[in-house]
A = this chain, B = another copy of it.
Amino acid sequence: MAARNEKVAAEKRRLILDAAVRVFARQGFNQCRVSDIADEAGVAYGLVYHYFRSKDEVLDTLFLERWNVMLDVIRDLDGQDLVPRDKLYAIASFIVDSYRHDPELMKVIIVEVTRAANSFGQTHLQKITEAYELIAGIVERAQADGAFKDTVTPRFAALAFYGAIEQVLSGWIFETLPRGDTEFEQAKRLVVETVCRGLATYTPAP
């Protein structure tokens, strides 16, 4: 009985979170009212506040749920026996596939948290930075192995890599870039190609 209730409760909570994703993606976090979330979820206004302390906490929860999965994936990859290039490819794959699988959720995370560094992002700056650091770690070890040049600092390389992916996702999100399975696969390859081999056919050392 209690177990049953807990399950039902968990389902309502999930119902609200899923509704929030749709509403945030459609209207934007600041442009939507809490009642929009409740309406979308088909529950009463106050129930949102039964499960979450505030509107912010709803977005918080969505972000952390997903971001932590990504951090775990990166940490896991890092431990595997792969060449650095493949590690970066796997990270790019995970992010692109996340978008393919749930574009609305990724839109919310990128637009409302990751890129909204002014307001909400500040709260999660540390969490976001953690991702950069994990990527920088991969680069650093690749440099130690001699697989990567040491002309670029690891931290900086991580920024460039993540920045490129985020920009591509932004392109899809704001529909300034064509979307589709072909494009998704191409993007994974190209971002790694660009960062690992560069655009130039030949460039003298600076």
Which of A's residues lie within 8 Å of B, judged by CB?
28-31, 84-85, 111-112, 115-119, 121-122, 125, 129, 132, 139, 142, 146-149, 151-153, 155-157, 159-160, 162-168, 170-171, 173-174, 176-177, 186-187, 189-191, 193-201, 203, 206
Contacts and interface: CB of A to CB of B under 8 A. Distances in A.
Contact of A149 (B85, B174, B201): B201
Contacts of A167: 159-160, 162-163, 166
Given A148-B201, A160-B190, A194-B198, 19 more contacts: A85-B200, A115-B117, A116-B116, A117-B170, A117-B174, A129-B176, A132-B176, A149-B199, A149-B201, A151-B193, A152-B194, A153-B186, A159-B171, A160-B191, A163-B168, A189-B206, A195-B198, A196-B199, A196-B200
Nearest to A173: B117
A147 B119 CA distance: 42
A44 B179 CA distance: 49
Nearest to A178: B155
A159 to B, nearest CB: 4
B168 A166 contact: no
A83 to B, nearest CB: 9
A157 B206 contact: no
| Max chain B Cβ within 10 angstroms of own Cβ: one of A116, A164, A174 | A164
A73 to B, nearest CB: 20
A132 B191 CA distance: 16
Given A156-B187, A199-B196, A118 B125 contact: no
A30 B122 CA distance: 14
